[in-house]
């Protein structure tokens, strides 16, 4: 897994080559909304992309991380089925339901049943390299979402230059990213981690939480500002040396939220001395988002090393899938 994090920008470059050489085209029909189907490492890209592109999209982009699809899905809904393996049970069942309501369907996968369905029914399909854990393939799958939104004229078609600048930034900052990640991981080791960010970076929070869960083999939780100021903040009542806070921050966060974060630090600081801030780098939201994703991925890897755990191992998930396969 460490090697996959190390190769993050190379994965992004490969993804751009795949999307750039693809002959995939739009259905040519009106699109009123977009639904991304996907679970875990395959599904988080939809949540993050929607937040990165919130200032560009003229239609809502939502994600379904379940067997079901919303009632609004219809002939003017663009469906993107994202499953790294191509065999994700929930995504396949949700796709089957979506097929009854719309023909505007595209897929992102490395093969499996999703690719078979796409080939059989003529759905546009972007095939990415396989053979690694889905959470390690974020760099391969994430840019493909932008490609599919672009060819359907929902965002600017020039996606390559935007990702190229983000790649250059991360490559330039890589040594500093690793250094900061290790320092923070050392403070989070053996702690219960709580992640906070402004609400439009919740997708990044979720990705970080998932990486802590899967790579570091630890429980943690997240919340967003300002919403947590109306509920969770009241829960800070008991001192504990087992807790550690991580606040993901951006210099362009809304000024009122900047003030809220500072005030939250003063409240939480009465009960927790382990409060860490991670400031993003970048000139636009895509750069800042990818920078934070990469840095947080490194933190999860370093915590795994400090815990003496294998970041690749997911025996309990494999057990669950195996048991479900016995139920008909």
Beta bridge partners of 197: 224, 248
Cβ contact 138:44 at 8 Å: yes
Instruction: Tell me, yes or no, if 321 is annotated catalytic.
Output: yes
**Distance from C-alpha of 109 to C-alpha of 244, rounded to nearest angstrom:** 36
Core vs surface per residue 22-35: b (16+ CB within 10 A) or e: beeebbeeebebbb
Active-site residue (options: 214, 222, 223, 285): 214
**Distance from C-alpha of 306 to C-alpha of 234, rounded to nearest angstrom:** 32
Active-site residue (options: 230, 238, 315, 323): 230
Question: Which tokens hold the place of 20?
Answer: 């750039």
Active-site residue (options: 103, 179, 283, 321): 321
Residues noted as catalytic: 214, 230, 321
């Amino acid at each position: 897994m460490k090697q996959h994090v190390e190769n993050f920008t190379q994965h992004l470059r490969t993804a751009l080559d795949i999307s750039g050489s693809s002959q995939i085209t739009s259905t040519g029909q009106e699109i009123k909304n977009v639904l991304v189907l996907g679970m875990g490492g395959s599904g988080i890209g939809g949540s993050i992309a929607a937040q990165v592109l919130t200032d560009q999209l003229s239609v809502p982009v939502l994600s379904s991380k379940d067997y079901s699809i919303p009632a609004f899905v219809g002939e003017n809904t663009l469906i993107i089925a994202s499953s790294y393996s191509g065999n994700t049970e929930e995504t396949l069942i949700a796709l089957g339901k979506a097929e009854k309501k719309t023909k505007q369907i595209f897929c992102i996968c490395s093969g499996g049943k999703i690719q078979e369905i796409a080939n059989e029914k003529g759905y546009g399909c972007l095939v990415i390299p396989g053979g690694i854990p889905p959470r390690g393939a974020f760099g391969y799958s994430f840019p493909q979402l932008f490609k599919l939104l672009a060819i359907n004229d929902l965002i600017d078609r020039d996606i390559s230059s935007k990702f190229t600048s983000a790649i250059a930034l991360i490559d330039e900052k890589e040594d500093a990213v690793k250094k900061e990640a290790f320092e923070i991981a050392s403070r989070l080791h053996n702690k219960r981690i709580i992640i906070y960010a402004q609400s439009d970076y919740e997708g990044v929070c979720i990705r970080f939480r998932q990486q802590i869960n899967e790579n570091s083999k630890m429980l943690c939780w997240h919340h967003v500002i300002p919403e947590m100021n109306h509920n969770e903040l009241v829960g800070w009542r008991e001192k504990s040396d087992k807790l550690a806070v991580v606040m993901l921050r951006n210099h362009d966060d809304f000024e009122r939220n900047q003030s809220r974060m500072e005030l939250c630090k003063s409240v939480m600081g009465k009960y927790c001395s382990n409060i860490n801030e991670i400031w993003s780098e970048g000139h636009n939201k895509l750069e800042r988002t990818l920078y934070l994703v990469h840095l947080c991925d490194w933190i999860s890897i370093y915590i795994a090393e400090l815990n003496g755990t294998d970041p690749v191992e997911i025996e309990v998930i494999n057990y669950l899938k195996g048991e479900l396969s016995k139920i008909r």
